[in-house]
Amino acid sequence: MIRIKSILKENGYKLTSQRRATLEVILHNEDKHMSTEEIFIEVKKTNPDIGLATIYRTVLLLEELGILVRLNFEDGRNRYELSHPEEDHDHHHLICLKCGQVSEVEEDLLESLEETIDRNHNFKIINHKVKFFGHCNRCR
Amino acid sequence: MIRIKSILKENGYKLTSQRRATLEVILHNEDKHMSTEEIFIEVKKTNPDIGLATIYRTVLLLEELGILVRLNFEDGRNRYELSHPEEDHDHHHLICLKCGQVSEVEEDLLESLEETIDRNHNFKIINHKVKFFGHCNRCR
DNA sequence: ATCTTTGCAAATGCTTTGCACATTC
DNA sequence: GAATGTGCAAAGCATTTGCAAAGAT
């Protein structure tokens, strides 16, 4: 949170109570990949007067600052998770086609593919988004 | 087209002139990753009376039948390309962050990562969606 | 003749925006 | 006190849907 506050400050933004509350909900729900509306519902429990537009503006800002990562699980809404600055590329997600559960893959293992792409396509990779669809341990 | 017609027929759907025109536009614009509206504008040139809703219904149907693959390049609209039945998994896309150009990667090279996921996460992979963001040959 | 498909317009659902007021530094 | 941030309601935009008419087998 201290790190995040200084990122905001460095960029000329304030850590308002709404932004702090939004961040705390996301920090306390790691691995949940919350949608904007889910974040809104949670934040409302401590800040009942907050508006949905504020949550939209906050997650957009936090994404631009690299604090959040926007996820797309093909369900028609944006979802967010904390960015992990120690990982230089986003991690992958496993999405169960039966129950919808989403889990994370810590292994990257894309080095050789990315080298091949750099070599064969002359394309400089900065980041990637990788989703695997299939059946989770409970549904397979 | 003969193959597609029989897939439609097998599933109890008709190859109407609207569906044929939609397919022809997609067939004649391979590698363009057209959005629904772009398809609509193209189809209108030969079928001026077609409605946008028909295009939406057609691409949805063709996707369900496995004839099209829906793509998401994070620009707020669905895009489609022909499915390549000889590939058992969708191919990857390279998206240039500067000029927006999208190109395709024929190399899969995900076998070892997918084996690791099966082993470590007990997750049975059926398909994947892989996007690489970076700078293309002209922009790097 | 029956079942499917289409065009249109309206509805939907997520997200963004304009604006007056409030808050922060 | 100037600039930034917020809440609300309205607008925006891609997509879906209800329905009556048209089309296919």
HSE-CB at A100 with a 13 A cutoff on CA atoms is 6
State pTM to two decimals: 0.91
Region B42-71: mean pLDDT is: 96
One-letter amino acid for residue B125 of the chain: I
Task: Give A77 CA → D13 C1' in Å.
Answer: 14
List chain A residues with pLDDT less than 70: none
The CA distance from A6 to B32, in Å, is: 43
Region B132-136: mean pLDDT is: 95
Nearest residue on chain B to A136, judged by CA atoms?
A: B123
Q: If you compute the radius of gyration of chain B from its CA atoms, what whole number of angstroms results?
A: 17
Region B73-81: mean pLDDT is: 95
Q: Specify the pLDDT at position A31.
A: 86
Task: Give A14 CA → D2 C1' in Å.
Answer: 15
Q: Specify the pLDDT at position B85.
A: 84
Nearest by CB to B94, which of A107, A123, A134? A123
Q: Specify the pLDDT at position A85.
A: 83
Q: Specify the pLDDT at position A30.
A: 86
Ordered structural domains, chain B, with CATH: 2-82 (1.10.10.10), 92-134 (3.30.1490.190)
Give percent above pLDDT 70 in chain B.
100
Write the CA distances from A4 to A11, A19, A40, A83, A103, integer angstroms.
Answer: 11, 11, 20, 11, 25
